[in-house]
Amino acid sequence: MIQVLSVASECAPLVKTGGLADVVGALPGALAPEGVDMRILLPGYPQVMKALARDAVVMEEWDLFGGHANLIAATAAGLNLLVIDAPHLYDRLGSIYLGADGHDWPDNPERFAGLCWMAARIAADGVAGWRPHVIHCHDWQAGLVPEYLRTFDARDRTGTVLTVHNMAFHGLASYGRIGSLRLDPERFNPEGFEFWGRISALKAGLVGADRLTTVSPTYAAELLQPEFGMGLDGVMRARRDVLCGILNGIDEGVWNPMTDPAVTPYADASGKDANKEALRREFGLPDSDGPLCVVVSRLTEQKGLDLLIEALPTLLAHGGQLAVLGSGEGWMEEAFRNASQGGPVGVRIGYDEALSHRMMAGGDAILVPSRFEPCGLTQMYGLRYGTIPVVALTGGLADTVINASPAALAAGVATGLQFHPVTADALRGALVQLCDLYADRDVWTRMQANAMAQPVGWQTSAKAYAKLYRDLAPHE
Ligand code: ADP
Ligand code: GLC
């Protein structure tokens, strides 16, 4: 068995703000059949500490960036976890990233440096007879792992992979914190972890990890371009030889319309009717001959939902309806609340896992007009539930949907709609096409069946990750 330590700031079902958690939580189960023994290193947030079963302290750290920490080995939700119990860093109420004022916790650099430091110690010393051959780092929160492996002289014995789930978050800190973060000033330069005069945890990972991956092949290519590279496209070009895109899958145990406890189960799309009826009632929407569109999303600039607000009158004019579940930036929450005044539009501001399942089952179409999207999971949930995705042609959205072009329709293979460029106008065009396709029952039923049959699980990508780990640890 190859031993892999997955290092991340979130993990479903214990603690989640987005798709990163889903992926981190699904990987161990997906990789076990490939001969990978994966454990997950997580910060001991209150919701994680509460969920632990059969725990034991396996390591102590007297000063983890300002206080004592215990490393706890435990299982929860069927996952093998190593949890950092460090109350001074993680035991606080509210969001895992933001304080009550809506801004990052001021000590976020230290909080996630603590995560990386413990990962490096585990690689150096092992815990309870287990030492990782490979450390799999996720996003900037795990970016400092290669730096601290140097500190502990464990780099040569430990392979490292950094997966970019989102290039928009860099994990920046001022140079003044280099001492408190225990980083080597010699490496504060453009070839190291300096980013325009500041410390970048993401860049540390990008320059320091043996291999880089991102969560779709198209986003891997996009990251080489200034438009998507967020100032790090040059670094990505320099490291393109070690970069690859491995498409996310969905957890088919959790997202399966035949067994989903949150919905009226169904095996084919005709079974969606009862769910749609219930969803309409839940959102107070009247009957209609047009498609019921759903959105389940963080409400941020990335997701392009302001374009949907612009294009909404067109959807409604063609008989469409909209149900939105989301939370995020205040101005966008407000804009959706206002949009719900003027027609068959239902809006729920908040985070609600069970409702997100009911929306997947009850919607006719799911809208994902993102400006950029490293992979995106909701369009894949949509496919699995026969809920036709209407997506921007970018990142993983480009890799997971077969656009209803005339050729794809003629061949009977379309699974959704893609629009480009990512503008309100192009989205309007896609929404009109959606309403036309919906009105043609034969074509629509075919698309639903195609969508539900499209493979969206982890099988192929699990093999790709297992191969990557084996390449890095040939003598395990
Ligand atoms: P991102 O990670 O950029 O937010 P993804 O599509 O990869 O985008 O993953 C988003 C995940 O978060 C999905 O599992 C989605 O169902 C879930 N999600 C987003 N917003 C909400 C919400 N308001 N309520 C419930 N689930 C949500
Ligand atoms: C990020 C991306 C999203 C991706 C998810 C899981 O949050 O924004 O596109 O699906 O990570 O990899």
What's the average model confidence in pLDDT over 163-173?
97
Burial 109-128 (b: 16+ CB within 10 A, else e): bbbbbbbbbbbbbbbbeebe
Per-residue confidence (pLDDT) for residue 475, from 0 to 100 = 63
Distance (Å) of CA 3 to CA 36, 118, 271, 402: 6, 17, 43, 37
Atom of ligand 2 nearest to the CA of 20: 6
| 373 C-alpha to ligand 2 centroid (Å) | 7
Give the ligand whose atoms come closest to the C-alpha of residue 8: 2
Which segments of 130-283 are extended strands (E)?
A: 134-138, 159-164, 172-174, 194-195, 198-200, 211-214, 243-245
The atom of ligand 2 lying closest to the CA of 165 is 11
pLDDT at 391 over 90: yes
Counting ligand 1 atoms within 8 A of each CB, the residue from 15, 294, 360, 377 with the most, and so the one to mutate, is 377
Residue 354, domain member (yes or no) = yes
The ligand that comes nearest to the alpha carbon of residue 299 is: 1
- Output the CA 11–ligand 1 centroid distance in Å: 13
Centroid of ligand 1 to alpha carbon of 289 (angstroms): 28
Judgement on whether residues 352 and 372 belong to the same structural domain of the protein: yes
Q: How do beta strands 388-392 and 365-368 pair?
A: parallel
Look at residue 474 in the predicted model and tell me its pLDDT: 65
User: Which residues line ligand 2 at a C-beta cut-off of 6 Å?
Assistant: 18-20, 23, 165-166, 215, 248, 373-377, 396
Say if ligand 1 is within 6 A of residue 277 CB: no
Q: What percentage of residues in the chain have a pLDDT greater than 90?
A: 96
- Determine the residue type at 270: S
Tokens of 246: 């491995």
13 pocket-lining for ligand 1 (C-beta < 6 Å):
no
Give distance in angstroms: CA of 15 to centre of ligand 2: 15
Q: Does 326 contact ligand 1 (Cβ within 6 A)?
A: yes
Q: If you measure from the C-alpha of residue 439 to the centroid of ligand 2, how many angstroms do you get, rounded to a whole number? A: 33
Q: Does residue 139 have its Cβ closer than 6 Å to ligand 1?
A: no
The tally of domains found in the chain comes to 2
- Residue whose CA lies nearest to ligand 1 atom number 13: 19
Same domain flag for 162 and 280: no
CA dihedral (25, 29, 34, 36) positive or negative: positive
C-alpha 324 to ligand 1 mean position (Å): 12
Nearest ligand 1 atom to alpha carbon 381 = 16
Domain that holds residue 300: 269-453
Q: Do residue 11 and residue 150 come from a single domain?
A: yes
* Residue 205 near residue 146, CB atoms below 8 Å: yes
* pLDDT tens, position by position, 294-341: 999 999 999 999 999 999 999 999 999 999 999 999 999 999 999 888
CA of 18 to the centre of ligand 2 (A): 7
Query: Looking at ligand 1, which residue's alpha carbon is closest to its atom 14?
Result: 19
Number of neighbours of residue 215 by Cβ within 10 angstroms: 27
| Local confidence band at 343 (pLDDT 50, 70, 90 cut-offs) | confident
Q: Which protein residue has the closest C-alpha to ligand 1 atom 24?
A: 351
Report pLDDT for 102.
Answer: 85
Q: Are residues 278 and 351 in the same domain?
A: yes
Q: Is the dihedral of CA 476, 30, 72, 84 positive or negative?
A: positive
Q: Residues 428-446: what's their mean pLDDT?
A: 98
Distance (Å) from CA 250 to ligand 2 centroid: 12
Which atom belonging to ligand 2 lies closest to the Cα atom of 373? 9
Average pLDDT for 183-188: 97
Judge if 448 and 465 occupy the same domain. no
By the 10 Å C-beta count (0-12 exposed, 13-18 middle, 19+ buried), 442 is classed as exposed
Interacting residues of 333 by C-beta distance below 8 A, sequence separation 6+ = 299, 326, 327, 349
Residues 356, 287, single domain; the answer is yes
Give pLDDT, residue 42.
98
Average pLDDT of the chain, as a whole number: 96
| Domain-located, residue 256 | no
Does any domain span residue 264? no
* 283/185 Cα distance (integer angstroms): 56
Mutate to test the pocket of ligand 1, among 216, 248, 356 (most ligand atoms within 8 A of CB): 356
322 lines ligand 1 (CB under 6 A): no
The verdict on residue 401 lying in a domain is yes
Please report the pLDDT score of residue 340 as a whole number: 85
Calculate mean pLDDT across residues 246-259: 96
Which atom belonging to ligand 2 lies closest to the Cα atom of 163?
12
**pLDDT, tens digit, for every residue of 110-160?**
999 999 999 999 999 999 899 999 999 999 999 999 999 999 999 999 999
In a domain, 177, yes or no: yes
Answer yes or no: is 231 within a domain: yes
Same domain, 229 and 122: yes
- Both 214 and 318 in one domain: the answer is no
Atom number of ligand 1 nearest to Cα 378: 6
- The answer as to whether 290 is a domain residue is yes
Single-letter code of the amino acid located at 167: M
- CATH number, domain of 83, equals 3.40.50.2000
Distance 300 CA to ligand 2 centre (A): 13
Clarify whether residues 341 and 223 are in a common domain. no
Same domain, 302 and 234: no
Query: Is residue 110 lining ligand 1, measured as CB closer than 6 Å?
Result: no
Is 54 a residue whose pLDDT tops 80? Answer: no
Q: Which atom of ligand 1 is nearest to the CA of 326?
A: 23
- Ligand 1: which atom is nearest the Cα of residue 22? 14
User: Is 257 within a domain?
Assistant: no
CA–CA distances in Å: residue 376 to residues 233, 297, 392: 21, 10, 11
Contacts of 274 (CB under 8 A, 6+ apart): 264
Instruction: For residue 23, report the distance from its CA to the centre of ligand 2, in Å.
Output: 9
- From residue 426, give the alpha-carbon distance in Å to each of 32, 48, 437: 43, 43, 17
**Do 434 and 449 have their domain in common?**
yes
Asked if 435 and 465 sit in the same domain, the reply is no
